Structure 1
Amino acid sequence: MKLKFLGIAAAFMISSASVAADKATETVVLITIDGLRWQELFTGVDRAFFDQKDYIAYKKTHGDFKKKYWRKTGDERRRVMMPFFWDTVGKEGQLYGNRAKGSIGNITNQFHFSYPGYSEILTGFADDARITSNDKIPNPNRTILEWLNGKPAHKGKVAAFGSWDVFPYIVNESRSGVPVNAGFEAYDESVSPRVKELNKLQEQIPSPWDTVRLDAFTMGFAREAMAKEKLDLVYIAMGETDDFAHDGHYDLYVDAAHRTDQMISDLWVWFQSDKRYSGKTTMIITTDHGRGSESLEAWKSHGRFKYRKEDGAEAISSYKGDTEIWMAVIGPDTPAVGEVSGGPVVTLSQIAATTARFLGYDYKGDHAGKKAGAPIKEMMK
């Protein structure tokens, strides 16, 4: 019996080793683009929001904007708006969330705004009892970043960079030990001379908002950190799209998405030229929530809210479309399917476990009564 048991154990270890050997991914880069609708990603600029009669500054540049982004078909419009997504991810990776083709992506939290969405992405579940606002409250739940950083093999190889100044709380930087550079925080200038330049520029170039910096600094600091040493898990959270949308500037929202696409493209090209990352890096890209879709006024907004009806009764409403999200993935372990039609319903709660699985781990979460969403197996060979 003992010999038989040892034989089974040996067979299991050989099998496990072969699975590990088949996996090429050593680094996962998780990127979020705040509040970018699936409609723009899959069909380009939306004609319903193309002419903003109440936005005077937009009238002055509308001709240039139309020339740059308007094309006759949705396929042409999406490609000119986000060429990396369609020329590279669309050919070498996978894209989920085009509801017009039966591919469905949803959030599972009940609030439909940023902190609950990001917490769902990073922990693998919605905590509707405790994550109920965008306030700067340390996340009581452990994220996949903290979970991986707790493993000796990955200690000090996990980092996060965000444009919004709430991310140190979402990741719970003080408890997790995961370094988070976010908001208008300067980055460690010992990393590279380029960081010193970025810090100086961040002081000199004003942001339109008091809690969100420009995305170029977020991506710039992340790039420098990855260039200094090989990291195993990096989270990059871009924010301009959501804030320009809340301001009602559809053209600036689209421009921000276009710039983000270019920055991600530059990052991916750089990965292919660096021996530490080339052929060993998977990128997962998604958003934290959708937006209203019924009118220009609704498009600016998202979120579930309480209100009182005429009879005084309390009711709950939300913006149609703000639970609808999308996902994209590209890397050496992902089949080149391109745009998914039909397929599984995917949720933000599956991102954490999917990230872990690419790195060779099973992540289920360790929170009482809360289980992380399952990995999206279709994303992997």
Structure 2
Amino acid sequence: MKSFLSLLALLIGTTVVAQQKTRTQNIIYISVDGYRWKELFRGAEQALLTNKKYNATSVEDNLKRYWADDIKERRKLLMPFVWNFIAQHGQLYGNRDLGNNVNVRNKAWISYPGRSESITGYADPAITTNSHPDNPNDNVLEFLNKQKGFNGKVVTFASWDAVSRIVNRNRNGMLVNIPFDNLPGNNLMEAEQLASETQHYAPKIFGDGERLDANTYEMARAYILAHHPKVVYLDLADTDEYGHEGKYDEYLEAIHNIDAMIGSLWQRLQQDNFYKNNTTFIIVPDHGRGDDDQWTSHGSSIPHANDTWLLVMGPDTPVLGEVKTSQQIYQDQFAKTLAALLGFDFTSQQHPVGDAIPTVTGR
């Protein structure tokens, strides 16, 4: 009888697996598009900060806001929550000055392939452009959505419309909110209604396919507090857009604002008994950027655009702070690591999946 049930489960495509006990019951997974490791670990770069070509803001104002001679103070000016809180309670990987390396494994070094690698655990060589159609590869979000207690509790909020193809909502039917979708339902809380409404009033400065991160954050936060999803993928994109436009001051402001959003969300969820002390935050980019005048670009022809990073903070993750040991991590390891923090082993019959990162999971 047991063999028959196992065969039946295989035939109908069910992917329900045994869950191991972990303290993490919820995940907030945040992607920050095209954010370089240099600004994260070194703070603002002086040569770019003082170059009038890349800044509408005055050099004096830029220096006053983001510059300190000491690297540790400088990076705190840019990301105070990361360096005053996550560094004290979590783990930070990717400071290449210390020999701690995080990289994408895919060869394209652009947005769709990078995001896909992170959530599928697989650097698919067939995915090489941002115009790729619906992602054929299994991803960890839909895997979790099939587990007991998680169905309908895995959601995505994205500033870039291509994320609907990357997560493949046409296949899995999960909530993937992209620009300029309104939140579904007839009995929405007032904050949800307002978030849906105000996104349409904000300027479409990056075009019809992208909304400002502030609007994406507002919608995600309103939904989280109203419905208590267990896994949230929050995809932010202002950093990459300002980078491509060569606006270093706006790029830095976007980073500073994202740091504030992350801190505000963490503090608010710690006031909610559903999330308090049982939620892990995972924060990653999808790719890096070039150096010097190539900081505006990324892709396989741009050196160092494959250099990335990883931040984690939660009840199962040992406090290591800024990891200073020599190490190599790849982004195809993120998906299995995310599942492992919830007590699951994410695998796929379609493709290989990168190994979990044991220092993150504590196992």
- Alignment TM-score, normalising by the size of structure 1: 0.87
Q: Shift in Å at residue 59 of structure 1?
A: 4.7
Distance 2:64 2:342 in 1: 43
Match of 1:246 among 244, 247, 263: 244
Match of 2:204 among 204, 207, 211: 207
The yes-or-no answer on 1:338 pairing with 2:334 is no
The yes-or-no answer on 1:111 pairing with 2:92 is no
Structural mapping, 1:10-89, within 5 Å: 20-21=20-21, 23-55=22-54, 58-89=55-86
Distance 1:283 1:32 in 2: 11
Q: Shift in Å at residue 151 of structure 1?
A: 2.2
Instruction: Look up the SS of the partner of 2:308 in the other structure.
Output: coil
Which of 322-331 and 181-190 deviates more? 181-190
8 Å Cα contact 2:49-2:62 kept in structure 1? no
8 Å Cα contact 1:161-1:180 kept in structure 2? yes
Match of 2:118 among 118, 121, 132: 121
Query: Which residue of structure 2 lines up, in the alignment, with residue 232 of structure 1?
Result: 230
Q: Shift in Å at residue 167 of structure 1?
A: 0.8
Instruction: Look up the SS of the partner of 2:211 in the other structure.
Output: coil
8 Å Cα contact 1:272-1:278 kept in structure 2? yes
Q: Shift in Å at residue 105 of structure 1?
A: 0.3
- Alignment TM-score, normalising by the size of structure 2: 0.91
Distance 1:329 1:103 in 2: 15
The yes-or-no answer on 1:360 pairing with 2:358 is no
Amino acid at match of 1:180: V
Query: Which residue of structure 2 lines up, in the alignment, with residue 10 of structure 1?
Result: none
* Gap runs ≥5 in structure 1: 1-16, 305-317
Distance 1:290 1:365 in 2: 27
How many residues are aligned here? 343
Distance 1:357 1:243 in 2: 32
8 Å Cα contact 1:37-1:325 kept in structure 2? yes
Amino acid at match of 1:258: H
8 Å Cα contact 1:191-1:224 kept in structure 2? no
8 Å Cα contact 1:31-1:235 kept in structure 2? yes
Distance 1:268 1:54 in 2: 36
The yes-or-no answer on 1:219 pairing with 2:217 is yes
Amino acid at match of 1:184: F
Distance 1:226 1:186 in 2: 15
Instruction: Look up the SS of the partner of 1:286 in the other structure.
Output: strand
Amino acid at match of 2:317: T
Instruction: Look up the SS of the partner of 2:307 in the other structure.
Output: coil
RMSD, aligned CA:
1.5
Distance 2:346 2:220 in 1: 25
Q: Shift in Å at residue 41 of structure 1?
A: 0.2
Structural mapping, 1:182-331, within 5 Å: 182-188=178-184, 190-210=187-207, 211-293=209-291, 295-296=292-293, 298-304=294-300, 318-331=301-314
Query: Which residue of structure 1 lines up, in the alignment, with residue 143 of structure 2?
Result: 147
Amino acid at match of 1:197: L
Amino acid at match of 1:238: L
Distance 1:26 1:60 in 2: 43
Distance 2:316 2:49 in 1: 39
The yes-or-no answer on 1:156 pairing with 2:139 is no
Which of 251-260 and 176-185 deviates more? 176-185
Distance 1:59 1:161 in 2: 30
Q: What percentage of residue pairs aligned between the two structures are identical?
A: 38
Distance 1:60 1:30 in 2: 32
